[in-house]
Amino acid sequence: MSAAITTNAIDEVFARLKESGETALIPFMTMGDPDLETSVALVQAAEAAGAHMIELGIPYSDPLADGPVIQRASERALKNRISLTDCIGVASKAREKGVRMPFIIFTYFNPALQLGLERFFGLLQENGFSGAIIPDLPMEEDAETKEIADRHGIHLIPLVAPTSEARVERIASRASGFVYCVSSLGVTGERSSFHEGIGAFLATVRKAASVPICVGFGISSREQAESLAGQCDGVIVGSAIVRKVEESLPLLIADDADRKAEGIAAVRDFIAALKPQRVG
């Protein structure tokens, strides 16, 4: 039987950031794009750039929440016939390389269900994950999954959107880890502006939640991250980073070690430039 789990690394990071007045920077990356070994190196680069925790995205053939940039990354990764367990293993390999930040898996429900929920969360625990985001698992159907996640010390992190309306307070009030607030309508992707009622929406979530709130979907620059920093505890950047990986592919897949290192550094520097300045 697993030992009782009393702490979670996500909680520890947010407690530390609250004391220092910082906003969490949470990158998203698609695992296996362009290959698993490079994913490990990119996770290392993200931490070196100042990321506080990271979402490891599982490539999926029917990604309902993902825009074209992340869809293309998933297509590239799936050509290598990688599995969910391969992607979960990236976390432990990154730990072996010295990465210390919390890992959060971002996957759709079917892959986890096919693996078996007990085995899925057991593997997350064994490989050092602290959280899971399953965007197509609604609150009304997550009781069994949440119970298993809790037992393995994994925060099941909910998404909430401006269109969630009456469900916003219910979702936020039962969240663990943090609440993932969707800044814009539609799928993931870079945007020049957010939902016009974003301020009131975040205030509603803040009032209902007892855990930190973070904003994602559409953030692609430091200016956008800083514009939201005063209203949330963390910003999540996905498509803009995945696009940078895509732009750097000629370097990342090079056989020459120096050229590959140049590609890793380009992604690292891009992530570093996204980090919001300290507030307060």
Active site residues: 55, 66
- Residue 21 gets the label, from left (phi > 0), alpha (psi -120 to 50) or beta, of left
Nearest to 124 by CA among 177, 49, 46: 177
Q: Is the Cβ–Cβ distance between 208 and 169 less than 8 Å?
A: yes
Q: Which residues of 113-134 are buried (b: 16+ CB within 10 A; e: fewer)?
A: eebebeebbbbbbebbbbbbbb
Q: Which of 232, 266, 189 is nearest to 25 (CA)?
A: 232
Burial pattern 144-181, b for ≥16 Cβ within 10 A else e, equals ebbebbeebbbbbbbbbbbebeeebbebbebbbbbbbb
- 257 phi and psi angles, rounded to 5 deg: -60, -35
* Cα(96)–Cα(110) distance, integer angstroms: 29
Beta carbons within 10 angstroms of residue 200's beta carbon: 11
188-189-190 Cα angle (round to 5): 145
For residue 55, the surrounding DSSP H or E stretch is strand 54-57
- Please, are residues 150 and 177 in contact by the beta-carbon 8 Å criterion? no
> What is the spatial distance between Cα 264 and Cα 258, in angstroms, rounded to a whole number?
10
Residue 166 corresponds to which amino acid?
A
